[in-house]
Amino acid sequence: MREIASTDFYSIHVDTAKNRLFVTYRGAWTKPAQVPNFLKDHSEAIKELTPGYTALIDFRNMEAILLTDFMEKVQIDSIQTGIRKAARIYDRPTFIQIQADHIGKKTGLNARAFESVAEAEAWLEEP
């Protein structure tokens, strides 16, 4: 697994052997200045993967997101580059989950919510 970026607000890794993107969100995203390189880092990561890739997105340490346009942009970019499906990890139902689900319906991203990393990874492995 290769680290693309790690900040106080997120980390992005890719595993080219699994053809998988890993994104971990942290903190409260309230202004673009907190995550000035996020879109660039995400774009760099998905360029290393091939169409049909999967994503494990961890929201367990995210407190809030006002930057839903960023979330929509990365979903659209992922769809355009051939993502097959994304598993989102939450430790409990949150407003962030409602936001992500709403954006996913808008973009058409094939995604499901999980409370267990093991269950999420098992789902990602399914054809």
Q: What is the CATH number of the domain that holds 34?
A: 3.30.750.24
Q: Identify which of 70, 72, 86 has the alpha carbon closest to the alpha carbon of residue 19.
A: 86
pLDDT at position 93: 85
- Predicted TM-score (pTM) of the model is 0.95
Total domain count for the chain? 1
Average pLDDT, the chain: 96
Q: Kindly report, residue by residue over 60-91, the tens digit of the pLDDT.
A: 999 999 999 999 999 999 999 999 999 999 99
- What is the helix (H) or strand (E) element at residue 79, kind and residue range? helix 68-80
pLDDT at 47: 97
Q: How far apart are CA 14 and CA 45, in angstroms?
A: 6
Q: Which domain holds residue 26?
A: 2-125
Closest residue by Cα to residue 54 from 67, 65, 45, 44? 45
| Phi, psi angle pair for 89, to nearest 5° | -105, 130
pLDDT of amino acid 92: 87
Q: With 0-12 CB in 10 A as exposed, 13-18 as middle and 19+ as buried, what is 5?
A: middle
